[in-house]
Amino acid sequence: MATIAIIGAGIFVRTQYLPRLSEISDLFQLKAIWSRTQESARAAVEIADKNFSGVQCKWGDEGLDDIIRDSSITAVAVVLAGQNQVDISLKMLKAGKHVLQEKPAAASVKDLETALHNYKSICADAPGPLIWSVAENYRFEPALLECKKLLAEIGKMMSVQVIIEGSMNSSNPYFSSSWRRNFTGGFILDMGVHYIAGLRMLVGCEVVSVSAMTSHVDLSLPPPDNISSVFHLENGCSGVFVMVVSSRTPKACDLVASCWREWDIAN
C-alpha cells in the first residue's frame, strides 16, 4: 500500500482533498500533512483524524525536510499557493517522490518551461520513472468525456465557442485568498484553466495561437476580470473564448462546437 503526504493545509485541502481521499482510504496510507504554520497543519490533521489514523503534523522548514527525507513516503499532493508550488514539487521529485500538484501549474510560461527542463533532468538521473501531474479534474468529468465521444461521431469540427460567466464575490471562500490576488491573471487564470483543460480534451489537440483583450470592471477583484479571445487549433479549427468572473448572474458555461459531415455538403 502506498504511503503519501499532503503538502498544504488550506481551505481546499480541508474541504475537498480530505473528504475525497477518505472515499478511497483503503488504497493508501496518509502519513503526514504539512503547512507553513503549526496551527494550520494541526487544523487539517484534526479533520483527517476522522478517517485516517496516526496522521503526523508537520510544519515549517524542519517539517518539510522530514517529509523529504522519509523514504516510506512515495508520493505527495502539493496543494499550495500558485507562486510556491513548482519549487516544492521539484524538491519532492528530487527526493524520489511522485507528485500530484494543484493548478495552476506555474506562474508564467517561462517558469513552467524551466520547471519542465528541471523535471526532465531529475527523471534522467532517477532510478525509476517519476510522475509529476497537475490535478486538473475537468479532463475526467463524465459529461465532458461524453461530449468528446459525441463530437467524434458527428463529424469534422468547424468552430468552437466557449462562454463562461461566473460571480466571484465575498460569499465565495476564495474571494479573499491573498495568493490569487497577487497572482498574474487573478481569478481569470485560477478559474479559467479548468475550461481551457476541458476545451483541449474535447477537441483532442492543442491551441497554437491566441489573440485576446482583457478589461477590469469590478475593482474589488484583481485584474483582469473579463477576457475576450479568438484562438486557432492544431486541427485548423478556430474558435472564441469569453470569460467573465464579475457577473451578477449565477455561474453559467456554454460550449458550442459546430461540425459538418461530408454527406451534408453533398446534399
- Are the C-beta atoms of 40 and 78 separated by less than 8 Å? no
Evaluated on CA atoms 21, 26, 29, 32, the torsion sign reads positive
Query: Quick check: 265 pLDDT over 50?
Result: no
Of 38-47, 121-130, 192-201, 257-266, which gets the smallest average pLDDT?
257-266
Q: Which residue has the higher pLDDT, 151 or 2?
A: 2
- Quick check: do 2-135 and 138-266 share a fold? no
In the chain, the DSSP E strands lie at 2-7, 28-35, 56-59, 75-78, 98-101, 132-134, 156-165, 207-215, 226-233, 238-244, 252-260
Can you give the pTM of this predicted structure? 0.87
Query: Quick check: 262 pLDDT over 70?
Result: no
Average pLDDT on 75-86 reads: 94
pLDDT class for 259, splitting at 50, 70, 90?
low
Give 3-42 pLDDT, tens digit per residue. 999 999 999 999 999 999 999 999 999 999 999 999 999 9
Q: Please tell me the predicted confidence (pLDDT) of residue 263.
A: 46
**Mean model confidence pLDDT for the chain:** 91
- Are the C-beta atoms of 259 and 156 separated by less than 8 Å? yes
Give the class (CATH, top level) of 2-135.
alpha beta
Share of the chain above pLDDT 70, in %: 95
pLDDT class for 139, splitting at 50, 70, 90?
confident
Give 86-128 pLDDT, tens digit per residue. 999 999 999 999 999 999 888 888 999 999 999 999 999 999 9
Domain range annotation of the chain: 2-135, 138-266
CATH number given to 138-266: 3.30.360.10
